[in-house]
Amino acid sequence: MDKIWHHSYPAGVPHDIDTTQYRSLNALFEESFRRNAREPATVCMGQWMRYGQLDEWSTALGAYLQSLGLPTGARVAIMLPNLPQFPVTMAGVLRAGYTCVNVNPLYTARELEHQLKDSGAEAIVILENFAHTLEEVIDHSPIQHVVLASFGDLLGFWYGKWMTFAVRHLAKLVPPFKLPLQGPGGVRTVVPFRRALEVGQSRPLKPADVNHDSIAFLQYTGGTTGLSKGAVLTHGNVIAATLQAEAWFTPALSKVGDVRHANHIMALPLYHIFALTLELLVIRHGAHATLIPNPRDIPKFVETLKGRPFNVLPAVNTLFNGLLNNPAFRQLDFSSLVLSQAGGMAASEGTAQQWQAVTHCAMIEGWGMSETCAIGTNNPVTNTTFTGSIGLPLPGIDIAIKDDDNQSLPPGGTGEICIKGPNVMRGYYQQPEENAKTFTADGYMRTGDIGVMDERGYIRIVDRKKDMIIVSGFNVFPTELDNVISLCPGVLECATVGVPDEHSGEAIKVYVVRSDPTLSEDAVLRYCHDNFTGYKRPKYIEFRDELPKSNVGKILRRELRQK
């Protein structure tokens, strides 16, 4: 059935997608690996991995994990940056019949412990740079098996050894750690990544009995109750999102010719749903991804871009800004760039105008969530200017703007953006009460974003129903920060809000009422540094004698934001 937005689709973009062509993500992988065995899959720091190698190594890792006796559907945590080990591990876990639990490598011990406990992960593949964090919590988690990766494991024999040495001993980026072999659940295995591959290569990978309904990812996102929740993304959800992205991006990618020759820049972290979904599209096409392990090092990032023509550059607004502020970036050859995809946070019109002036490629803004596999709405990739809207619902997606009585509003009405489609999560992992609040009786998922749709189907976000803060594309829920900061010695009560920030979109500000008048701003900031990963740390602390409250004692964040 046609929707009003279908009339605004670019020529050739279908209104729906066919998810039945793949029984599971494993079928998608195996088709691509077979068809593109000799084609490059990734390049990282000048070192290439071909699809044949991705096939061989992911098969070996999957076989190794199966040899541990993990049951079908077991959760395996992945705590890796953008290195070749990430796609190898992701494909290996899924091909073995297990569920990927993506973990931010920069998480603090407290954050990591919650995610491991909540997901029930029995195994983890982790870069040794972050093993000291795991050491702090492993005895309080269900982890029984650790695969320990080193930076250079898949970067070639000699170059890889050199890079591992440099990271360990010259840059000193691997803090000392000791992972105990005896845990509460019995004997624990700790095996180097390369050794796991060697063991797996001597064993067969048993075919996994998975289908569209099998869980592929537990993708953790902020929680209104103060703890992050795992969005249950099935194989069917992720297949749908991959095909939706393919359908929408085809008018731009067709300019490359053979999509297998497209160079996709992966600077956004692959554990984040935005980059993860685009990486799966790369595999579907048999294209290749240029992996950027540390996009914060803008000069090195620009040097990488200078090395070869690049076609697709997904980024959040802060990364686009960082590149634009680098003089060397402005001197690059942008003639091959066909898609500059913005997402994860609101794109600013000023940044978009500068980007187009420098690259001659319009910034295309989209919107999605972890709960929707990053897919939701997008501006047409044929646009030649920035629109300031989040675009149109993608093929196979239905979006309704609903009021508080769950009634769908006509074009021009302002209400909550609600989404339905094959890419939308099954629900939050082991959160029945949250799921009951999240889904409407007619099957839409409430997003918490307040928007308006015009008569052509274009949507604009005008506010957020939830208190969520978005810092450089990452969701931060104030309740989590409030709960933890309230435990800081000397804090009586506190409230966290987002404030505008020209670099990160929003920054975090915490209002604190002291029980100890000697408590300093530095002391609160140090406490936050110890308990939160970087993007969750407050930029501003303001002490107050009291916080604004309702007549029932609820802190009024909106008043604090307005002030």
Q: What is the mean pLDDT of residues 496-519?
A: 90
109 and 198 together in one domain: yes
* Whole-angstrom distance, CA of residue 213 vs CA of residue 386: 38
Residues of the chain with pLDDT > 90, as a percent, come to 80
State the pLDDT at residue 224: 47
321 and 456 together in one domain: yes
507 and 458 together in one domain: no
Residue 262 CA to chain centroid, in angstroms? 22
Tell me, yes or no, whether 102 lies in a domain. Answer: yes
Identify the H or E element spanning 483: helix 478-485
460 and 475 together in one domain: no
Q: Are 41 and 58 in contact (CB under 8 A)?
A: no
Q: Are 371 and 468 in contact (CB under 8 A)?
A: no
Identify the H or E element spanning 312: strand 312-315
* Residues comprising the chain, all counted: 563
Question: Residues 491-500: contacts with CB within 8 Å, 24+ apart?
Answer: 491/515, 491/519, 491/524, 493/547, 493/555, 494/547, 495/547, 495/555, 495/557, 495/560, 496/469, 496/538, 496/557, 497/467, 497/469, 497/557, 497/560, 497/561, 498/469, 498/470, 498/471, 498/561, 499/540, 499/561
Identify the H or E element spanning 542: strand 540-543
Tell me, yes or no, whether 253 lies in a domain. Answer: yes
Of the two residues 455 and 479, the one the predictor is more confident about is: 455
The domain of 306 spans 4-18+236-464
CA angle 223-226-232, nearest 5°?
30
Please choose, from the candidates 255, 243, 245, 242, the residue with its C-alpha nearest in 3D space to the C-alpha of residue 382: 255
Supply the mean pLDDT for the chain. 93
- Is the confidence at residue 537, as pLDDT, over 90? yes
Tell me, yes or no, whether 225 lies in a domain. Answer: no
Crossing angle of helices 85-95 and 51-67, rounded to 10°: 50
Q: Are 97 and 73 in contact (CB under 8 A)?
A: yes
- Is the confidence at residue 223, as pLDDT, over 70? no
First to last CA, the chain: 47
Q: What is the mean pLDDT of residues 283-311?
A: 96
Q: How many domains does the chain have?
A: 3
Tell me, yes or no, whether 310 lies in a domain. Answer: yes
- Is the confidence at residue 561, as pLDDT, over 90? no
457 and 378 together in one domain: yes
Tell me, yes or no, whether 216 lies in a domain. Answer: no
Tell me the HSE value of 238 on the side-chain side, using a 13 A CA sphere.
36
For 401-457, write each residue's pLDDT tens digit.
999 899 999 999 989 999 999 999 999 999 999 999 999 999 999 998 889 999 999
Tell me, yes or no, whether 223 lies in a domain. Answer: no
Q: Are 264 and 292 in contact (CB under 8 A)?
A: no
DSSP state at residue 294: -
* Residue 237, token pair as written in the block: 């959800």
Q: Give the CATH number of the domain where residue 151 resides.
A: 3.40.50.980
- Is the confidence at residue 465, as pLDDT, over 70? no
Q: What is the mean pLDDT of residues 530-553?
A: 85
Last residue of a domain, one of 436, 464, 492: 464
Tell me, yes or no, whether 217 lies in a domain. Answer: no
State the pLDDT at residue 226: 58
Q: Give the CATH number of the domain where residue 495 resides.
A: 3.30.300.30
525 and 443 together in one domain: no
- Is the confidence at residue 317, as pLDDT, over 90? no
435 and 479 together in one domain: no
83 phi, psi to nearest 5 deg: -125, 165
Query: Out of 223-237, 249-263, 346-360, which region has the weakest mean confidence (pLDDT)?
Result: 223-237
Q: Give the CATH number of the domain where residue 400 resides.
A: 3.40.50.12780
For 116-170, write each residue's pLDDT tens digit.
999 999 999 999 999 999 999 999 999 999 999 999 999 999 999 999 999 999 9
DSSP state at residue 462: E
Distances (CA, A) of 536 to 149, 418, 420, 474, 514: 26, 27, 30, 9, 21
* Whole-angstrom distance, CA of residue 83 vs CA of residue 180: 26
Identify the H or E element spanning 125: strand 123-127
265 and 191 together in one domain: no
Q: What is the mean pLDDT of residues 62-82?
A: 97
Dihedral of the alpha carbons of 307, 313, 315, 319, in degrees to the nearest 10: 30
Please choose, from the candidates 20, 21, 40, the residue with its C-alpha nearest in 3D space to the C-alpha of residue 31: 21
Last residue of a domain, one of 440, 464, 488: 464
* Whole-angstrom distance, CA of residue 22 vs CA of residue 324: 40
Identify the H or E element spanning 321: helix 317-324
For 30-48, write each residue's pLDDT tens digit.
999 999 999 999 999 999 9
* Whole-angstrom distance, CA of residue 354 vs CA of residue 329: 12
510 phi, psi to nearest 5 deg: -120, 125
448 and 477 together in one domain: no
**Quick one: the chain helix, strand, coil %, rounded to 5?**
35, 25, 40
Q: Under 8 Å CB-to-CB from 127, ≥6 apart: which residues?
A: 79, 80, 81, 83, 85, 105, 149, 150, 151
Q: Which segments of 42-138 does DSSP mark as H helices, in order?
A: 51-67, 85-95, 109-119, 131-137
Confidence (pTM): 0.87
Tell me, yes or no, whether 301 lies in a domain. Answer: yes
Query: Which amino acid belongs to residue 174?
Result: V
343 and 258 together in one domain: yes
Last residue of a domain, one of 430, 464, 498: 464
For 370-408, write each residue's pLDDT tens digit.
999 999 999 999 999 888 899 999 999 999 999 989 999
For 173-210, write each residue's pLDDT tens digit.
999 999 988 877 777 899 999 999 999 999 999 999 99
542 and 494 together in one domain: yes
392 and 306 together in one domain: yes
* Whole-angstrom distance, CA of residue 364 vs CA of residue 341: 5
State the pLDDT at residue 480: 81
State the pLDDT at residue 551: 53
Which residues on neighbouring strands pair with residue 364, listed in sequence order? Answer: 341
